Amino acid sequence: MIDIALTCIRDILNEHFKNEFSITENKAILSNLVKADGSSAQNVDGKIVLFLVCLDEESTLKNSLNRSAKQDNVFVHKRPALHLNMQLLFCANFDSTVYIEGLRFLSSLIRFFQVNSKIGIDYYSNSSLKTNRLNFELCNLDYAQLSHLWSSIGSKLMPAVLYKVSMLVFDDVPADRIIPSILETESLS
């Protein structure tokens, strides 16, 4: 599900950039900036690089019911859905010769999410089409948090924007049991 959501976000951004800048090349890519060994990732130069910084559980929806009614007068008992928020970093990885171009793409991305703060992501789960509605919210980091983030990534500071994306819903667990409902009661008179 995470892979589907991030791939869809990347594809939507590429379509937006192609329409706005009349280009044919994909400028948004889904990749790390730095490989695990500390070397630079390949094919990220001159691109808007997006990657997952972290996932966290939406605590306000944690204690939801684990029972739901079905149309055929039964209740299904299963583990409650897991609601996750993602933090996505979008980096303008453009060298000094095209630095302004990178800022132009980053500005376009910010405008796009300002206008389209809610995006529906369609995916297949258990042979049925489902939709997750993703909400994009700009995150503000102070200088210390920003420094810690870039140190953790293992890269030098570059123009970037961090978005909190809520909510991915994982609700694909099978039912634990099916509970029949009471349809009628007979009177004892």
> Confidence band (pLDDT; 50, 70, 90) for 138?
very high
pTM: 0.80
Sequence-distant (≥ 6) Cβ neighbours of residue 26 within 8 angstroms: 14, 17
Cα–Cα dist 36/182, whole Å: 58
pLDDT (tens digit per residue) in 71-125: 566 666 666 777 889 999 999 999 989 999 999 999 999 999 999 999 988 766 6
Domain ranges of the chain: 2-60+82-175
- Angstrom distance (rounded) from CA 25 to CA 17: 9
Residue 22 backbone class (left: φ over 0; alpha: ψ -120 to 50; beta: rest): left
Structure tokens at 28: 């948004």
**Is residue 143 predicted with pLDDT exceeding 80?**
yes
Distance CA 28, CA 49 (A): 6
